[in-house]
Structure 1
Amino acid sequence: MAMHKRAGIIGVGSAVPERVLTNYDLEKMVDTSDEWIRTMTGIVERRIAAEGEGTSDYAIRAGRIAIENAGLKPEDIDLIILATFTGDTPLPATACIVQDSLGCKNAPAFDLAAGCSGFVYGLAAADAFVRSGHYERILVIGADLLSRVTNWTDRSTCVLFGDGAGAAVVATVGEDEGFMAFDLGSEGSGAKSLCIPAGGSRHPYTPEDLAAHRDKIYMDGREVFKFAVKIQGEATERVVAKCGLTTRDIDLVVPHQANIRIIESAVNRLGLPMDKFFVNLQKYGNTSAASIPIALDEAVAEGRIKRGDIVVTVGFGAGLTWAAGVMKWAF
């Protein structure tokens, strides 16, 4: 078995719903305002999946585009990793539905649950699989329909979330390209700060849970904000140092698109100009595991990333978890 290969991204894709939900729409639903949402989050609008659609619908679209952009056929993919916590059903893994629909007949498939950090966790896993020689061409997808688990009566959270999917094909690349380092972590003591309280094996749904919206996302906004502001900068500094680089070597940071104030805190901590950060949260809000791959796809389309660039991806989310990665862009 071949060892010590270099792995990197060779194709990206994304898919978002057609329906747009603006801040002005939310003003009619809860006690909030466009000015407050923009000031506190930077979000202007978000995309909402149509009734009857599932996470797999968008994962399939994003995955198909990524495979095509990588110049591959579905049967060339030999593993699928789907980062999500809003699968179509609790069982089976939604990755298996994606595998069948895409025609990736040679690929085993599994879901990965790390909240908004999930896509970068998936990249780290794919990197290890390719470098070890176990798999050669891996489709990593981040997809979530947060509208399905949002309490639309809670003005503190419903303004934040949207739906979508993004994907990347990870494969062997040149010796001086691809993934350089990862920094993954968890702080389980903060598990209850961002969670869905009911619906699992410990607390199955009851009618009372449904009435109290305990089947929807609960977030301690203050605690999650403090964690995110701290860890985003720290993880970025650590992962860059692992490569023997400094923040001055970074060409573009693609952060989790949760809140503009969190991104601005990283700008200040890292001493980088704002134009070194790719931001599209104003259009989509927080799409959880989909946010970084959607941003990567748009950054490539806009010419913000070119071959040889040093790109940092960094996310944080439920768990509490974080994940940062450094790569030299390979296409």
Structure 2
Amino acid sequence: MKEVYINKISKYLPNRPISNDEMEEKLGIINGKTSKGRRIVLRNNQIKTRYYAIDDNGNITHNNAQLAKEAIMGLCDDDFKIEDIQLLSCGTSSPDQMLPSHAAMVHGFLKNGNIEINSPSGACCSGMNALKYGYLSVKSGQTENAVCTGSERASTWIKSQIFEDELKYLETLEDNPILAFNKDFLRWMLSDGAGAFLLENIPKGNNALKIEWMEGYSYAHEMEACMYAGGDKMEDGFLKPWSEYPSHEWSKKSIFAIKQDVKLLGENILVKGVDSLKKAIEKHNVKPENIDYYLPHISSYYFKDNLYKEMVAQGVEIPWENWFMNLSKVGNVGAGSIYIMLEELVNSGKLKKGETILLSVPESARFSYAYALLTVC
């Protein structure tokens, strides 16, 4: 088995940062009324700015695959050219289409010859699953390098036009139609962007990070869907897919909109998260107090204090001073968040040889969690 190193990290955030007061202008006002939930959600998540692949004239500037391609180009220079990529592994929650795969579309934009591609599906953990595929490929000697990405273009999934037909339909049923909170909630949470890692089997440069191990855990065997798109949840928790609805109901029910069961999220995301964290660090005999940098992907600062309290309750407390996050500046970029977070930490100049970094990514879709321990070389 080979050792595996993250030798380069790149990010791509489209256009300019968007403030809280500009969000509704960018995404559109639904049914002529400003959202009642917007200020509550923003007050809780404490995100100040985020990025959208939408310019100031309302034009779409990039699709998801193009965002990932731009992040990958940031890895390339005279020492590592785009034609040197042996494996491309791309994760996202918001692919541009159901088929072809996301990685195939990214490869199509790169135009860099025959390479192996991989497209893990899912939500936030898809970015970590993309990383693990590349990690295992390089570790096993199948390839000498791998480029892994996490990216999202959520903005077009949450624009007002997605919900217009549903609101028109509701107007025929009631006097005061409003968008359900499980759909409105995510409009003020999600952001666009992409991050990319270059993995190689020897360390290079001044900021190489050795991947010590990666672990993943799913709780789908005991939990129903919490965040979903392309279907609707029945009262018994069964997720009915879009393909079982007549086409005229797709827009009436906003079937393809992304939705969040907020109650289920609040009751389980932290408890299951710390349970999985405990499993991972105990398996590898890691003491939480010895982790120099803890990078938790959280969707909202609302969860930060309670995550810490749950760590204390389960005996895996990581000291506050070792936490590193950039959610307030870049927003929740889903599968891309952990890439963008690590890029900022590496470029901060803070890292010292021998320090450890724990990447922690939850996924509320049906409660999955992924972890990676890195050492600064």
Secondary structure of the 2:195 match is: strand
Offset of residue 7 of structure 1: 1.0
What's the counterpart of residue 166 of structure 1?
A: 195
What's the counterpart of residue 94 of structure 1?
A: 102
Offset of residue 106 of structure 1: 4.1
What's the counterpart of residue 321 of structure 1?
A: 368
Q: What's the TM-score, normalizing by structure 2?
A: 0.78
What's the counterpart of residue 41 of structure 1?
A: 45
- In structure 2, what is the Cα distance between the partners aligned to 1:279 and 1:177? 18
2:260 alignment partner, one of 207, 214, 219: 219
- In structure 1, what is the Cα distance between the partners aligned to 2:95 and 2:123? 12
Offset of residue 187 of structure 1: 2.2
- In structure 2, what is the Cα distance between the partners aligned to 1:307 and 1:31? 49
Q: What's the TM-score, normalizing by structure 1?
A: 0.88
The amino acid of 2:375's aligned partner reads K
Provide the alpha-carbon RMSD of the alignment: 2.5
Matches within 5 A, 1:261-300: 261-268=302-309, 269=311, 270-300=316-346
Secondary structure of the 1:241 match is: helix
What's the counterpart of residue 58 of structure 1?
A: 67
What's the counterpart of residue 273 of structure 2?
A: 232
The 3 A distance-change label for structure 1 pair 111 and 306 is farther
The 3 A distance-change label for structure 1 pair 63 and 264 is farther
Secondary structure of the 1:182 match is: strand
What's the counterpart of residue 246 of structure 1?
A: 287
Secondary structure of the 1:143 match is: strand
Instruction: Please identify, of 15-24 and 313-322, the stretch whose mean Cα deviation from structure 2 is larger.
Output: 15-24
The amino acid of 1:190's aligned partner reads M
Offset of residue 271 of structure 1: 2.8
The 3 A distance-change label for structure 1 pair 8 and 231 is farther
What's the counterpart of residue 35 of structure 2?
A: 30
- In structure 2, what is the Cα distance between the partners aligned to 1:204 and 1:79? 38
Is this contact kept in 2: 1:83–1:122, CA < 8 A? Answer: yes
- In structure 1, what is the Cα distance between the partners aligned to 2:282 and 2:112? 37
Offset of residue 19 of structure 1: 4.3
Offset of residue 324 of structure 1: 1.1
- In structure 1, what is the Cα distance between the partners aligned to 2:329 and 2:260? 22
The amino acid of 1:92's aligned partner reads P
Percent of aligned pairs sharing the same letter: 20
Query: Please, which runs of 5 or more residues in structure 2 have no aligned partner?
Result: 55-59, 161-178, 233-240
Is this contact kept in 1: 2:120–2:130, CA < 8 A? Answer: yes
- In structure 1, what is the Cα distance between the partners aligned to 2:246 and 2:322? 44
Offset of residue 52 of structure 1: 5.2
The 3 A distance-change label for structure 1 pair 201 and 111 is farther
Secondary structure of the 1:160 match is: coil
The 3 A distance-change label for structure 1 pair 276 and 99 is same
Deviations 1:190-214 (A, max 9, x none): 3521101439674367232213222
The amino acid of 1:328's aligned partner reads T
Is this contact kept in 1: 2:89–2:149, CA < 8 A? Answer: yes
Offset of residue 177 of structure 1: 6.4
The amino acid of 1:48's aligned partner reads Y
Offset of residue 313 of structure 1: 0.7
Is this contact kept in 1: 2:148–2:197, CA < 8 A? Answer: yes
- In structure 1, what is the Cα distance between the partners aligned to 2:350 and 2:121? 29
